[in-house]
Copies of this chain bind each other. A is one copy, B any other.
């Protein structure tokens, strides 16, 4: 199987496949006499595994560790499950953060709609974003949007 066929079979670009190979996520395939990558059928499953891992929010670094285990003939199911459990905790944490944010925004928007939005000096505008109840962790230095 050539790279374009693998790409079509897994629904990714050929550039992504080469990038994954460089990143240690896919085992480098044999080459044809002309130097083309020649993939075995199992490469499709290998690639789909990476995409499935990404879809649940595992990082490429984490997935590379798993595939490195696999390529050394070890049995990384335990490691994979550990990553999934860790991700589960992260997701729950993030849902709670976003839910708090949703509530905060609801309060702010409610208050905002009580204002005359056409009379809007800076101090009034700044007030539209002021959250009285401090957000749970005071020193959360990053503001992830997604």
Contacts and interface: CB of A to CB of B under 8 A. Distances in A.
Copies in the complex: 2
A45 B130 CA distance: 11
Given A88-B109, A102-B91, A77 B125 contact: yes
Interface of A: 42, 45-46, 48-49, 52-57, 59, 66, 70, 75-78, 80-81, 84-85, 87-88, 90-92, 94-95, 98-99, 101-102, 104-106, 108-109, 112-113, 115, 117-126, 128-131, 135, 143-146
A95 B129 CA distance: 21
Which of A48, A53, A54, A84 neighbours the largest number of chain B CB atoms within 10 Å of its CB?
A84
A17 B119 CA distance: 29
A104 B58 CA distance: 14
Contacts of A101: 56-57, 91
